Amino acid sequence: PQGIGSPSVYHAVIVIFLEFFAWGLLTAPTLVVLHETFPKHTFLMNGLIQGVKGLLSFLSAPLIGALSDVWGRKSFLLLTVFFTCAPIPLMKISPWWYFAVISVSGVFAVTFSVVFAYVADITQEHERSMAYGLVSATFAASLVTSPAIGAYLGRVYGDSLVVVLATAIALLDICFILVAVPESLPEKMRPASWGAPISWEQADPFASLKKVGQDSIVLLICITVFLSYLPEAGQYSSFFLYLRQIMGFSSESVAAFIAVLGILSIIAQTIVLSLLMRSIGNKNTILLGLGFQILQLAWYGFGSEPWMMWAAGAVAAMSSITFPAVSALVSRTADADQQGVVQGMITGIRGLCNGLGPALYGFIFYIFHVELNELPMPESPSGGGVVAQYHLQQNSIIPGPPFLFGACSVLLALLVALFIPEHTNLNVRSSNWKKHCGSHGHPHSPQAPGEAKEPLLQDTNV
């Protein structure tokens, strides 16, 4: 077989690290180019670009997952990484083409779907959660380190060098897949020819959503996930731009913010989460995480000073315990043969939010006229920026209206979550569809609870 050694989790880890390290380097340059390209409606265009990309990823992910079940993982790893990284060199060549290609690249920007299927091929069921955890930690580590490196190189040597370096790392990732990554799908699982049929049931992106109303408990969980993740997805798409252009953060400050938030989130999702689950129970942990998310979004919405953003960021790290707690609740209460069905529903809901959230946030920013009168002023030597130059066109009481909307949405999620019982048996009517549910893993292996973390790791450029 082509590749170096036998298939392992480490092959998948290196692929993920290189891809997101390349995109992380571009965090600061992307924010600048975005505002220079769309000076009038920066937040609206950012929301539309990320929204189109998210919706295309949601629609195409099941089909790509099903095709990789037939044709193997390596070719689709190559395809998804290539198209996800294709926009990088266009940043300096043509910003308009750069953002256009980012939108269209959503069709193939589903590397994590293929990576999780790759990991599922080569691990036993009891090993899978740890393997997914390793992939997730690698993703977090790449985004903790790369924005700070990119901001430093951009300040010292210019953004052109950062784009060249990111392009080189993306090419290294593609070469690594071609040369070093062996195929993980066993030969006996692949048909003799490429003409094997793919059913609509396998490729239907709405298959998971159609099962939601069949059990009242599942419905409550899915409504909770939708209402809480919709503002989270929108926040991810626009928050760093908001810090940079509205709150006056320097490139270095944005990079430091990402690093600190990432480290705190890793601590919250490991040590703090395990302590809370043992001490106050699963449902109460979910409620506590939603409470932290409401506080964080309200703080973002009303905050007008940089120190408020830092304080709210610490609260945001604590709010990251919500989804792992929901995943644990589902995995504990669902029957063994229902795990994939129920986890697949939650995955589908969050994938849909990745498309709707950014567009919604961009539209709300546009409605409230949250735009700039001019380009950012040069940063001060201390790296803090001049906040006075970043005030909104209108002196609004609410600096960040979408965040306040998000707080109201999460408050509704909290009220819905109150009705979720702590201990119950989820009973979802399923058919042979459940072989193909979840995050597009392959049909011959059940989906592990840890696989539900995939929507947190949707491909994104920040």
- Domain ranges for the chain, please list them: 1-184, 209-372+399-422
Give every CB contact of residue 35 below 8 A, 6+ residues apart in sequence. Answer: 42, 241, 245, 372, 375, 376
What is the DSSP-derived secondary structure letter of residue 400?
Answer: -
Torsion of CA 350, 352, 355, 359, to 10 degrees: -100
Determine the pLDDT at residue 377: 43
In a 13 Å sphere around the CA of 195, the CA atoms on its Cβ side amount to 1
Strand, coil or helix: what is 334?
strand
422: tokens are: 């702590």
CB atoms within 10 A of CB 66: 21
Determine the pLDDT at residue 51: 86
Below-70 pLDDT ranges, the chain: 1-3, 125-130, 133, 186-203, 208, 212-213, 331-345, 347, 370-399, 423-462
| Residue 180 CA to its chain's centroid (Å) | 27
Domain 209-372+399-422 class?
A: mainly alpha
Quick check: do 1-184 and 209-372+399-422 share a fold? yes
Q: What share of the chain is helix, strand, coil (3-state, %, to 5)?
A: 75, 0, 25
Determine the pLDDT at residue 428: 54
Q: Is the four-CA dihedral 145, 151, 153, 158 of positive or negative sign?
A: positive
372: tokens are: 């700039």
Give every CB contact of residue 156 below 8 A, 6+ residues apart in sequence. Answer: none
In a 13 Å sphere around the CA of 425, the CA atoms on its Cβ side amount to 5
Phi, psi of 315 (to 5 degrees): -70, -35
Residues in the chain: 462
The CATH number of domain 1-184 is 3.40.50.2300: no
Give every CB contact of residue 335 below 8 A, 6+ residues apart in sequence. Answer: 425, 426, 427
Give every CB contact of residue 159 below 8 A, 6+ residues apart in sequence. Answer: 28, 29, 32, 92
What is the distance between the alpha carbons of residues 351 and 272, in angstroms, rounded to a whole number?
A: 26
Give every CB contact of residue 126 below 8 A, 6+ residues apart in sequence. Answer: none
Strand, coil or helix: what is 312?
helix
What is the distance between the alpha carbons of residues 316 and 263, in angstroms, rounded to a whole number?
A: 12
